[in-house]
Amino acid sequence: MQAIKTQARVPVQIMNPFTQSSRLQYTTNSKSLPSLAIIDDYLSISTPHFDHIPRSDITIDVFKTPMPQQTPQERRALIENLKPFTAISTMRERTPFPASLLQELPNLKFLLCTGTQFETFDLEAAKKLGITVVAAPGKGRTDSKIPESKKGQDIRKGGNHPTTHHTWAMILALARNVAFDDASVKSGGWQTGMAMGLPGKTLGVLGMGRLGASVARAGIIAFGMKVVCWSQSLTQEKADTIAKGLSLPTESEDGSKTFQVVSKDELFQKSDVVSLHYVLSERSKDLVSRRELDMMKRTALLVNTSRGPLISENDLLHAAEEGKIRGIGLDTFEYEPLPADSPWRSQNWGRDGRSKVLVTPHMGYVEEGLMNNWYAETAENVERWLAGKEVLHRLV
């Protein structure tokens, strides 16, 4: 843990889930100054953005290790660590803030979020508790002198979003056997199998929001793929409108739709690559289960850079163990970071008839430009809050 302050500190012992060894993290004991906790800064990105804020105005603690709350012990440690702070800077949904947690933080007045989705933050509870909540959209500080052309791009336009890039990195890595050939060469081997060509193949996209649509567009333009798509509210008329908005024709030369809306069953039956870009809710949990997985071609790939619980983990593990599909790429999981004993950490995937499995540690949005823009925006809002100015990007 990195502490940036000069006030007296009270250590609180917690367990580091990566090493299962005891670590010391510090909370502030100052009653005279506002205090800020920057949590879940795994890669130590935040510090330069806050260095210029006078320590005579605020004390700052940076927590670099995850703060799970799956067990009563973990929840108690989380509350104990966060209770002293008047402001908390979060990173996406790494630490959820339901009403039950907010109610245990009586000193909290200012909650700073990042990104554009806030399903794990109880904004209504925050409003009732008098907690101001702000977002960081990812475009950088408003008072920056950087030329507009060099500022962060609008991530609401999906093609600019790092998750779009990561999705294609995973699809290509699976199709071209990148990780598996790399491991083979480094262990003294050579080729592990033939690559899968993408031109003419069918890309199935679940969810045609900005990310799903931009992934679909890349499939058509860069790789010559056909696109089928589905969501519970998607119509062909809407899909045609999306295509037009991405400067694509609504139909190809053979008369087929550019973004062909099909049933969910048809998507899983026809697709050579399935990519998930769906908003997680109670209704969409386990959107993909054994039924859908059994429909897929044995040569197909499945990639999830959206949310882990969209796929039934037990059903997906069964399909992977049985080798029911060629490859699986996962960037998101039901519990993050992955427990040390998670079967997804196995080195045996791709062997003895199992599916090839490529896993990354929720890196879809962890890109240097976006992450630094988020912390820059957060720091600007902290400055405004301390100065009594109107805060930016207010949610509550």
Give me the mean pLDDT over the 371-379 stretch. Answer: 97
Please, where are the H alpha helices in 297-363? 313-322
35-136+369-387 CATH fold: Rossmann fold (3.40.50)
Residue 10 pLDDT greater than 90, yes or no? no
Considering only residues 260 and 22, tell me which one the structure prediction assigns the higher pLDDT.
260
Q: What was the pLDDT predicted at 314?
A: 98
Residue 149 pLDDT greater than 50, yes or no? no
* pLDDT tens digits, 341-366: 999 999 999 999 999 999 999 999 99
Structure tokens at 119: 């399903």
Average pLDDT of the chain is 90
Q: Residue 253 and residue 35: Cα distance in Å, rounded?
A: 61
Q: Residue 246 and residue 144: Cα distance in Å, rounded?
A: 30
* pLDDT tens digits, 320-331: 999 999 999 999
Q: What was the pLDDT predicted at 20?
A: 33
162-359 CATH fold: Rossmann fold (3.40.50)
The DSSP string of 27-79 is EE--SSS-EEEE---TT--SHHHHTTS-TTT-EEEE--S----SSHHHHHHHH
Residue 109 pLDDT greater than 80, yes or no? yes
Give me the mean pLDDT over the 94-114 stretch. Answer: 97
Going by C-alpha positions, the residue among 302, 137, 138 that lies closest to residue 206 is 302
pTM: 0.88
Residue 76 pLDDT greater than 80, yes or no? yes
Residue 145 pLDDT greater than 60, yes or no? no
Q: Same CATH topology for 35-136+369-387 and 162-359?
A: yes
Residue 14 pLDDT greater than 50, yes or no? no
Burial (CB count <10 Å: 0-12, 13-18, 19+), residue 51: exposed
Residue 26 pLDDT greater than 70, yes or no? no
Sequence spans of domains, the chain: 35-136+369-387, 162-359
Which of 14-28, 62-76, 148-162 tops mean pLDDT?
62-76
Give me the mean pLDDT over the 128-136 stretch. Answer: 98
Structure tokens at 251: 């139909």
Considering only residues 254 and 275, tell me which one the structure prediction assigns the higher pLDDT.
275
Q: What was the pLDDT predicted at 144?
A: 77
Are 278 and 117 in contact by the 8 Å Cβ rule? The answer is no
* pLDDT tens digits, 174-194: 999 999 999 999 999 999 999
Q: Residue 171 and residue 176: Cα distance in Å, rounded?
A: 8
Q: What was the pLDDT predicted at 4?
A: 38
